[in-house]
Amino acid sequence: MASHAHSHDSTHREGYDFAHPFPVWGLLLVFAALTLLTIITVAQASFDLGNLDVAVTMVIATIKATLVMLFFMHLAFDKPFNLIIFLGSFVFVALFIIFTLSDSRMTSSSFEPVDDEPPVVSTSG
């Protein structure tokens, strides 16, 4: 199996030489950046940024996600069509979440949270 029939004659044929290995230093660099961003996002959680809190964590998460997408998932060098499909899904996600969120605030009064009693102390361990 190790002797590949194609390896001696087909390497330079059109459609046969398409592997573009991503360099190891690039992989390590992306990993280092992701780890650093994780540390930053954990560290910032101990500062009170008020309403900015969610925004900041989400921006950091999105930077991380972009790094993973571009380099680990090869979207930076891939056929653009794959990128368009993938980003297209987020358009629909945004539509879905925006409309559902605004709906949930406007229509349903039965949706309001209930203030019920806390559970009682259990007697058995």
Partner 1 sequence: MATTEALPETHDSHGHDHDHPPFLAHHFDTPEQQFDSGKLGMWLFLVTEILFFSGLFCAYAIFRAQRPEVFIGCSEFLNTKLGAINTGVLLFSSLTMAWAVRCAQTEEFKKLTGMLAATLSCAMIFLGVKSIEYSHKWELGLLPPAFYSYHPDNPHHEGVSMYLIYMALPFAIGLLGLVIWFLKAKASGDLFAIAVAKPMIVVFACFFVGVGLGTILESGETDHHSADHHAAADHDSSETAAAIAAAPSDTAAADGRALSSSDDSIRDRLARDETNTGIRGEVRARQRQGVVAGTGVVPRGAEIAGPIASVPTNVNTRSQAGVFFGIYYVMTGIHAIHILAGIGVLTWLLVRSVRQDFNRQYFGPVDYVGLYWHIVDLIWIYLFPLLYLIR
The token duo for 45 is: 């959680």
Question: What is the distance between the alpha carbons of residues 40 and 37, in angstroms, rounded to a whole number?
Answer: 5
Main-chain phi, psi angles of 89, to 5 degrees: -60, -35
Amino acid at 4: H
Distance (Å) of CA 91 to CA 31, 83, 87, 104: 28, 13, 7, 20
The correct pick among 107, 109, 110, 122 for binding partner 1 (CB under 8 A) is 122
Q: Binder to partner 1 among 28, 52, 55, 76 (CB under 8 A)?
A: 28
Rule CB under 8 A: which of 33-92 touch partner 1?
A: 34-35, 38, 41-42, 45-46, 48, 51, 53, 57-58, 60-61, 64-65, 68-69, 71-74, 78-79, 81-82, 85-86, 88-90, 92
Which one among 27, 52, 55, 76 touches partner 1, defined by CB under 8 A? 27
Give residues 1-20 in contact with partner 1 (rule: CB under 8 A): 1-7, 10, 13-20
Q: Both tokens of residue 25?
A: 């230093």
Separation of alpha carbons 88 and 82, rounded Å = 10
Which of 8, 77, 110, 119 is close enough to bind partner 1 by CB under 8 A? Answer: 119
Asked whether position 21 contacts partner 1 by CB under 8 A, the answer is yes
